[in-house]
Structure 1
Amino acid sequence: MYRYARNFAVEAFVRIADAGCLVEGFYVKYRDFILSIDIGGADTLVDFGEGKAILRPAPGGLRIRIVSDTLWGYLGCRELLHLHLFDAGLVRDEDYTWMPASDVPFMLRANQESVQRR
């Protein structure tokens, strides 16, 4: 768990073939827990009330960012996303790692990818 300023923020990159299909399935399966969904460009903002998740399909997988003001909101969002990935049978716990997030969404991952290309 990582706490920055006044919120909890983490990011992960999950390698899957059809990220768009996985995201749509998430909406349907957990619609009772979702207060609103805002789609802007490639990003989808899912508001759970106590926390928010940004889901961004990317080449080779799905980028996930969770932000919450409370520990319970953070853990709840993370667990719902984890359950969906696990139930879909696409990933195991070892397939992705939650990393501390910066103020700019997905900036940490972009920096890691550029370093690996050198």
Structure 2
Amino acid sequence: MNGQTPFFISSKGGSITCFRGDTGRVFRSCSRTSCVYSSDLHAAKAYLDILEGKKNLLLGEKNKFTAQRKTTLKWNADGELSQIDMARILDRLANPQLTSCDLACGLKD
């Protein structure tokens, strides 16, 4: 196990390299532009999976999930609805697609 040549290269291009340290072996997991050091091979493989995006934790990438919808209304100290929430409600009430619906149950007049 020399310290220069990776002894494991994944199909995504990430690698694990082993180094001899003062207190034993140290493993370096690298993918893209990030590297993580660990003290055992099992942890090195887990970190490589994370770096390659399987778990998307250490890369600082944003989640691919949509932003959580705001479902609470904000009220002023005087008990009135906030101006922003009032504008949102009035905007949605002006949209005919949101205020009307067709019953599609096949009833005839």
TM-score, with length taken from structure 2:
0.32
Larger Rg: 2
Higher-RCO chain (CA-CA 8 Å, sequence separation at least 6): 1
Task: Report the structure, 1 or 2, having the larger strand content.
Answer: 1
